[in-house]
Amino acid sequence: MNYRIVEDVNELKLDDIVRLLRTTYWAEKRSVEKIEKSVKNSKCYGLYLDDVESLVGFARVITDYATNYYLCDVIIDSEHRHKGLGKALVSHIVLSDELQGLRGILITKDAQKLYSQFGFEVVNDRVMFKNV
């Protein structure tokens, strides 16, 4: 399966991001305006498959690029899950040069197993940290 990860927000369609986020328990009721503002004020990552025209994966990072980053809104389209795409997307993000040496923070209800593969450790039932 060939995929590409896009980091240029200008290559991402807001409608595709909204469609994916509407399928999540954490952002299903987030307004389009809030989603648009969050995208404009974050480092965004989109995942595309060569044989699929629309966005199949998305994630955002909020950071000061000096001390911490917050990984959020990680989502893979339900039709494309369990193929390693979430792992590929998270790997791309946490191994990026710009995030090296920063502490990672995220909140998840059900994906601790995925994030622990990348050095994130559970602090309580939902919060995870990746120390420098």
Q: Where are the domains of the chain?
A: 3-130
Q: Which residue has the tokens 């040069």?
A: 97
Q: Which two tokens stand for residue 92?
A: 């791309």
Which CATH number does the domain 3-130 belong to among 3.40.50.1370, 3.30.9.10, 3.20.20.100, 3.40.630.30?
3.40.630.30
- pTM for the model: 0.94
pLDDT in tens, the chain (132 residues): 799 999 999 999 999 999 999 999 999 999 999 999 999 999 999 999 988 888 999 999 999 999 999 999 999 999 999 999 999 999 999 999 999 999 999 999 999 999 999 999 999 989 999 998
Judged on CB neighbours under 10 Å (0-12, 13-18, 19+), 5 is middle
